[in-house]
Structure 1
Amino acid sequence: MPKIHKTSDVQSENIGDGTLIWQFCVILKNAIIGKNCNINCNVFIENDVFIGDNVTIKPGVQIWDGVTIEDFVMIGPNATFTNDLYPKSKNTNFILKRTLIKKGASIGANATILAGIEIGENALIGAGSVVTKNVPSNTIWYGNPAQQKRFNDNDVKL
């Protein structure tokens, strides 16, 4: 059974056993969250979101419709996702762009992930990076715009 702090607004019933949801989170009705996740304070999770098992999401993260996060992913504090390449208020021509964060990836604090990006397995995105294109598995990227700096071959593969 999940443990949900009393100050959070959790509308979804699709939350796995052992998941912790801390203070002041909002999780909308159709979101799916796996087992043994740690959802820190002040996190917002929209409806069309899938989060796998053993995921850590640090404070201040918003996960918008169209984002899929696989197992064993770590999302650092205030990391930002987008789901529209051309955002406008009251946009009637909104086109949802799906984003995929694959198993074992880590995204550093304050990184920005543009809409429609795929981050490969065990990839590492450095703090403050702006990711504008797909990231291959087992690589380390950082900067603005983020660029591949080296291979991530020392990490434990999950």
Structure 2
Amino acid sequence: MRAEGLRPDVFVHPQGLCDSTDVGAGTRVWAFAHVLEGARIGAGCNVCDGAYVEGGAVLGDRVTVKNQVMVFAGVTVADDVFLGPGVTFTNDFTPRAHVRKGPDDLDPTRVEQGATLGARVTVVCGVTIGANAFVGAGAVVTRDVAPHAFVVGNPGRQIGWACRCGRRLDADLRCSCGRAYALGADGLHEDVELACT
């Protein structure tokens, strides 16, 4: 079902529900996915079977939302992010069924550009996952993740660095794709000069 006023270049599967009209060109909403009114979704996104995007959630452009992903109000996902099957975000540190909370009472979460969250990752609210970070399958993210960090486990812990292409960097901060990085006081940065040598 399509919301009245949804742009014609947004695909909604006959068994999908898209109640929001704030959806960018070329986005696809597949069977049994539900995008609630008030959700904002950018252009070229892929919202797969059984995914749920709550009102107040924001997805940038070209975001992949695999099957059974749960994105709740207060979660902001930047461009080019991959959310693997079954990724779940939380948005309240102290949930109680009998305590009603508004949007200002929720704990915001942000996923920066190009990050990857593997299958069944759980993100505890109030954190930022940095650009191009890679969170391995099944991890539980309980604190901020640095850009390019490679994180695994419960609770999630950094065990290395990830390239922009998604591969894990070697001990010299080089990737098999040809990119090289340098670690500075303000984090990991691509080093074009090293990559050329």
Instruction: Give the TM interval when normalised to the shorter protein.
Output: over 0.9
Percent of residue pairs bearing the same amino acid type: 36
Which structure has more relative contact order (CA 8 Å, sep 6+)? It is 1
The answer as to 2:168 corresponding to 1:123 is: no
Q: Tell me the residue number matched to 1:89.
A: 97
The code of the aligned residue for 2:140 comes to: V
Q: Tell me the residue number matched to 2:72.
A: 64
Task: State how 1:1-158 maps to structure 2 within 5 Å.
Answer: 1-92=9-100, 95-153=105-163, 155=165
| TM-score, L = length of structure 1 | 0.95
Q: Supply the distance in 1 between the matched residues of 2:147 and 2:91 (Cα, whole angstroms).
A: 22
Contact 2:148–2:164 at 8 Å: present in 1 too? no
Q: Secondary structure at the match of 1:68?
A: strand
Contact 2:110–2:128 at 8 Å: present in 1 too? yes
- Relative distance call for 1:44 and 1:129 in structure 2 (3 A) is same
Structure (1 or 2) with the larger CA radius of gyration: 2
Contact 2:114–2:164 at 8 Å: present in 1 too? no
The code of the aligned residue for 1:103 comes to: Q
| TM-score, L = length of structure 2 | 0.76
Tell me the C-alpha RMSD between the 2 structures: 1.5
Structure 1 residue ranges without an equivalent (≥5): none
Residues 84-128 of structure 1: per-residue CA shift (max 9 Å, x gap): 011111223673000000000000101100011100000000000
Q: Supply the distance in 1 between the matched residues of 2:30 and 2:95 (Cα, whole angstroms).
A: 30
Q: Secondary structure at the match of 1:65?
A: coil
Q: Supply the distance in 1 between the matched residues of 2:56 and 2:164 (Cα, whole angstroms).
A: 34
Q: Supply the distance in 2 between the matched residues of 1:15 and 1:93 (Cα, whole angstroms).
A: 26
Give the aligned length: 157
Q: Supply the distance in 1 between the matched residues of 2:29 and 2:23 (Cα, whole angstroms).
A: 10
Residues 53-90 of structure 1: per-residue CA shift (max 9 Å, x gap): 01000000111000000000000000110000111112
Structure 2 residue ranges without an equivalent (≥5): 1-8, 167-178, 180-197
